[in-house]
Amino acid sequence: MPRDVRISVIGAGSASFSLGLVRDLCLTENFAHSTVCLMDIDEDRVSMVHSLASRYADEIGIGLTFEKTTDRRTALDGADFVSNTASVGAHGGGGFASIHNLRFFLSVARDMERSCPNAWLLQSGNPVFEGCTLMTRETSAKVVGLCHGHYEFHQMAEILGLAEQDITWQAVGFNHVIFLTQFLCNGEDAYPVLDEWIAEKAEEYWRSYQPEYWENQMSRAAIHQYKMIGLMPIGDTVRAGGWWYHADPERKRYWYGPLGGFDSKEGWTQYIAELEAERERMFETAADPSARVTEIFHPEKSDEQIVPIIDALANDVGGQFQVNIPNNGLIAGIPDNVAVEVPAVASKQGIQGIRVGRLPDNLMAQVMYPRLAEAERAIALAKQPTRGLLLNMMLYRHVGLHSGYWPPVASCAEAEREVDGLLERDAELAQLLENRAS
């Protein structure tokens, strides 16, 4: 018999994400009589999502129950599963805004220890890598980080002309820093197919392609990283790579195409505009009782992993997933208490990562160790912020794998001024430093 569960969504005001989750739940028969508690500090948004979710379930004809609240502890009380997509800093959790997101993530995990100690936390809000590492180190919460960046492999396969059913692949590392460690087609190494495409078709592709802002998988930057490291980067890995891809708009366009990629001014503007347009559409639909929600969110399951993982853990509908969990020997040479992104099997027994073994020394030296050091600085800053650590991050931001979106500082004096400006803009961070000093 399927188990009725209580699922709490933190940051439910993100309408597109929340309704995507609701759709997948409504289309999964095992959750027909479960309860979803939608929580967001923005009462207007959570009320809008609650209205749309309830109407969606009615249109599908499933008995899911929906609740709403602006109080986090109310949402967490008695939860079996918690999905956290909330962000408290700048959208996306990047840069120094991640300090606040990490502190927020930790507070959620600590609340779960009190309110729902046996629940699983499915962490989708960024930064997933640092967040999962911090929460599993500091709390007893059962945390699994999820991301859909690995799906960009499908774009790579399509461009190379490979049939999905013929391919066996594996991409592992840290979240947003994953590399194709296994790439087989009909049981044979498929990297030569990629090499042939680079030699014979890549330049023509780059001259003529007009990618969407998020289409980076086969960009010049991706292939350059592959040549440097020896393994193909997958998904959001391509977006970062290093400051040399992001030093100025012209170089962004060279490496990522005419728009300059996701992290260009043009790309980011399009992304935010799409989010705003989607939010407006949701509010309009919620205000129109005659509108059918299923015509906006068509009743077709997405390829997101959240609901299938909940189904696996609650109802033993086993499956293999791409997850972020504590390493515990899954990747050799990485500390056990660091969250790694690996394939894993989920069932009623929990989540068991698949042991990957040792990654190539070149990948470890060029990418994994530097990225881990960058993450450890962010975690340390979130736990015990000091001006010295802030200054250190400001000085090193132009060499970090995920710090290439800002120009480097020219001197220590300039970095000091940047820190002063940051503290003037960020009163909460300034207060944390003052409290620490006192």
Tokens of 105: 């993530």
Cα-based distances in Å from 105 to 12, 96, 98, 136: 15, 15, 10, 11
Q: For 234, list phi and psi in degrees, rounded to 5.
A: -125, 140
Chain centre to alpha carbon of residue 167 = 25
SS3 percent helix, strand, coil of the chain, rounded to 5, is: 50, 15, 35
List CB contacts of 231: < 8 A, sequence separation 6 or more. 179, 180, 181, 360, 363
Distance CA 238, CA 222 (A): 5
β-pair partners for 351: 346
- Active-site residue, 44 included: no
In 161-233, which residue ranges form alpha helices assigned H by DSSP? 191-200, 202-208, 220-229
- Active-site residue, 398 included: no
* Long-range contacts from 288-293, C-beta under 8 angstroms, 24+ separation: 292/59, 293/19, 293/52, 293/55, 293/56, 293/59
Identity of the residue numbered 82: V
Q: For 355, list phi and psi in degrees, rounded to 5.
A: -65, 125
SS3 assignment, position 217:
coil
Set 80, 236, 263, 311: catalytic member: 236
Tokens of 430: 């300034």
226, 261 Cβ separation under 8 angstroms = no
Distance CA 140, CA 117 (A): 8
Tokens of 22: 């609701």
Length of the chain measured in residues = 438
Set 58, 148, 224, 426: catalytic member: 148
| Residues carrying an active site annotation | 148, 236
